[in-house]
Structure 1
Amino acid sequence: MTRPVAPLRLQPLTRARIRALGDEGSAWEARLPRLLSELAAEWSLTLGGPKPGGSSSYVTSARTGAGGEVVLKVSLPDPQLVHEADTLRRADGRGYVRLLAADPGRGALLLEALGVSLQHATLPVPDQLALLADTLALAWQPADEHPDAARDKARDLGDFVAQAWIEQDRPCPEAVVDRALTYAQRRRSDPGEPVFLHGDPHPGNLLAVPSGRPGGETGWCFIDPSGFVADRAYDLGVVLRDWSGRLAGSGARPRLAQWCRLLAERSGVDATRIWEWSYLERVSTGLYLRSFGADRAGAPFLRSAELLLDANC
């Protein structure tokens, strides 16, 4: 028999996304307790407490009928979930969390339980960057295995930045947007080496794995892949996107340039490409968060982008 579902505690960003979805988001939240109960019964789970993190899902710990620890993830309405399940299935644990079961129609994934995220590990930044780069090298899959997954990510981000900046009444200096659009055009004209990417490899999406687990040679694995084919420098740019708190004052530019060089040496990818993708991601993420009402979360991204304006990696 499954445990009754406890009162749900949704993450602040998830709640902001629910509000942005309007009636569709409200309907998802209303049916979530029943859906969790149904999934627990079908997959023989005893549900535990909610897990931290995430911006578009409800994630909870659980135990199987045999007593094993697992994680149940139920996403907000998202057609991309089928691609997440496919990415994890193909990876079979190599650089990624293991997929145990999936019901894309109901937005549900059953995953192996992992440890602490890199975001909450007490490691120096250079060590964290090295782990992210090394685990990406494990996780990347050949582009030719995903013939229908190519994305013009530079065009998509450039178009979004240009439109969102106007729609949001110019929330950052025009020079920030001009620099982001310049980098988007450069990345479009020089698309680099395509691989099947993770798509969102920030430190919160890298979790510790049990010692000796095949596919987890770095000791860490990724969760929550977006899964598309593009320049591998893109993923390394995303790695550098979420360090706004460490990019303040006059030291911001040289510090980020040093991190770009570290990732370049670790991966063999050009440092300038990493810099440009990271800047474009920084600006687009700040505007994206603002687009569904998470203005406070988006502000550090736009402030740090302004500090980095005069830098080149």
Structure 2
Amino acid sequence: MTAAPPDLPAPLRLPARLTTTLTHAGPEARAWATRLPALVSDLCERWGLTVGDPYEGGAWSLVLPASGARATGGWPGECVLKLVLPDEYTAAQFRVLDEAAGRGCVRVLASDVDRGALLMERLRPGPAESWDTSPGLIAGALLKFWQATASLAVPPARHKAEGLLGLLDELGHLAEPRHRPAVEAARDLARGRLRAYRPDRLVCSHGDPHAGNLMVRDDGEPVLVDADGTGGCEPEYDLGVVLRSWTTELLAADDPRGMLRAKASELAQQTGCDAPAILAWAGIERVTTGLYLRRLGHDEEGCAYLDSALRTNVRPG
């Protein structure tokens, strides 16, 4: 039985995509949604803010344009208030953003870890998403981000590939029968990245550097939002995430495997990374993202990821 969507009191409105996520994410998430009006009100009073209607598109956070400045804080008049359901990763995510200090990613003005609240600089939408240009722009921002957060690039308690193998085991039943070969291929790729582990090559992963998370400052500098704070991994992981999406382009392409190989080679040259490893991570993430989206009720989008995985299972070599 499908749970009812959270009943969010007026005047605060949840975007449709976030509502779908919270409807399928369990009682804790829905309870968080009902607390949001009071939480936003408290933070506005604390930080001297006025907020507008939420931005659309976020699947797991409420993001509101905000304005107002504290006389002693030096904050700009325009900023952004972001609220996430606090979990085990929240403190790490906030720490990563603080360490980066705006280098390659959004600048944090204030935060409340316990309540999952971030006050950030206001950015402008990035360039139109383009297979030709977006991956290179994201890679440039990642190079700055990795350098800024190098002190946090420590071996994780659990290798990223191990965690994704667990996700494949947990959510594999959500795959349609036609998608099962893609799930098995993703398992093979994840085992390969485990075997290739080298602790001397770790960076602090952004974790979610897709084109929708690329924005620009007023001076035109491209930067990333939504670093997830999941810990150290080889840099090819983040670059694999850069190539994870693009389902429309990949499903329409005559040669999607060649298309991916060419772009992975470009990113490898730009960053000094390994193209086959980039392709492997992209293949793993394409499947796990599709399954996770289906788990959260985004079935059509999730199936597009899985369909594209069937056409692009590019094994290293």
TM-score, normalized by the shorter chain, greater than 0.5: yes
Corresponding residue of 2:188: 182
User: Would the alpha carbon gap of residues 64 and 297 (structure 1) be closer, same or farther in structure 2, given more than 3 Å must change?
Assistant: same
Task: Kindly indicate whether residue 248 of structure 2 is the aligned counterpart of residue 241 of structure 1.
Answer: no
Q: What's 1:129 paired with?
A: 135
Q: 1:79 aligns with which of 74, 81, 88?
A: 88
Distance 1:224 1:309, change over 3 A: closer
Q: Do the aligned partners of residues 252 and 184 (structure 1) sit closer, same or farther apart at CA in structure 2, a change above 3 Å counting? A: same
Q: Deviations over 1:60-96 (max 9, x none)?
A: 0011136710000111242312112111111111111
CA shift at 1:254, angstroms? 1.1
Number of equivalenced pairs: 299
**Which aligned pairs between 1:265-284 and structure 2 lie closer than 5 A?**
265-284=269-288
Change (3 A) 1:235 1:293: same
1:227-247 CA distances to partner (integer Å, 9 max, x unpaired)?
210111000000001101100
Structure 1 residue aligned with 2:98, among 89, 109, 115? 89
Aligned to 1:255, which of 252, 255, 259? 259
Alignment CA distance shift 1:29-1:191 (3 Å): same
Which residue is equivalent to 1:214?
A: none
Matched, 1:231 2:240: no
Report the secondary structure of 2:208's partner residue: coil
Does the aligned pair in 2 maintain the 1:177–1:283 contact within 8 Å?
Answer: yes
Q: Does 134-143 or 104-113 show the bigger shift? A: 134-143
CA RMSD between the two structures: 2.1
The amino acid of 2:218's aligned partner reads P
1:173 Cα offset (Å): 3.0
- Structure 2: distance between partners of 1:169 and 1:306: 12
Match of 1:154 in 2: 161
Secondary structure at 1:32 match in 2? helix
Question: What is the deviation of 1:159?
Answer: 2.1
> Which is further off, 172-181 or 83-92?
172-181
Query: Percent identity at matched positions?
Result: 37
Aligned partner of 1:293 in structure 2 is: 297
Q: Distance in 1 between matches of 2:238 and 2:113?
A: 25
Q: SS where residue 11 of structure 2 aligns? A: coil
Distance 1:33 1:231 in 2: 40
Q: Distance in 1 between matches of 2:26 and 2:131?
A: 39
Give the distance between the partners of 1:293 and 1:125, measured in 2 at CA. 27
Equivalent position SS for 1:287: helix
- C-alpha separation between the residues in 2 aligned to 1:202 and 1:220? 13
Match of 2:34 among 19, 22, 30: 30
- Which of 9-18 and 130-139 deviates more? 9-18
Q: Which moved more, 1:258-267 or 1:245-254?
A: 245-254
Deviations 1:117-165 (A, max 9, x none): 3xxx236422211111111000014555454755401111122113311
Show structure 1 runs of 5+ residues with no match: 212-217
Distance in 2 (alpha carbons) for counterparts of 1:202 and 1:233:
14
Distance 1:103 1:148, change over 3 A: farther
| Larger mean Cα displacement after TM superposition, 78-87 or 280-289 | 78-87
8 Å CA contact 1:285–1:298 kept in 2: the answer is yes
Match of 1:105 among 89, 108, 114: 114
Q: Which moved more, 1:64-73 or 1:169-178?
A: 169-178
Deviation string, structure 1 residues 255-287 (Cα, Å, up to 9, x no partner): 111111111111111110000000000000000
Q: In the alignment, is the contact (CA less than 8 A) between 1:162 and 1:181 conserved in 2?
A: no
More displaced stretch, 195-204 vs 16-25? 16-25
Is the partner of 2:133 in helix, strand or coil?
A: helix
Matching residue of 2:3: none
Instruction: Give the TM-score normalised by the residue count of structure 2.
Output: 0.88
Match for 1:140 among 113, 135, 146? 146
- How far apart, CA to CA, are the structure 2 residues paired with 1:219 and 1:40? 29
Q: Distance in 1 between matches of 2:216 and 2:254?
A: 34
Q: Is the 8 A contact 1:165 1:287 kept in 2?
A: yes
Structure 1: distance between partners of 2:152 and 2:273: 21
Q: Is the 8 A contact 1:172 1:302 kept in 2?
A: no
How far apart are residue 175 of structure 1 and its match?
1.7
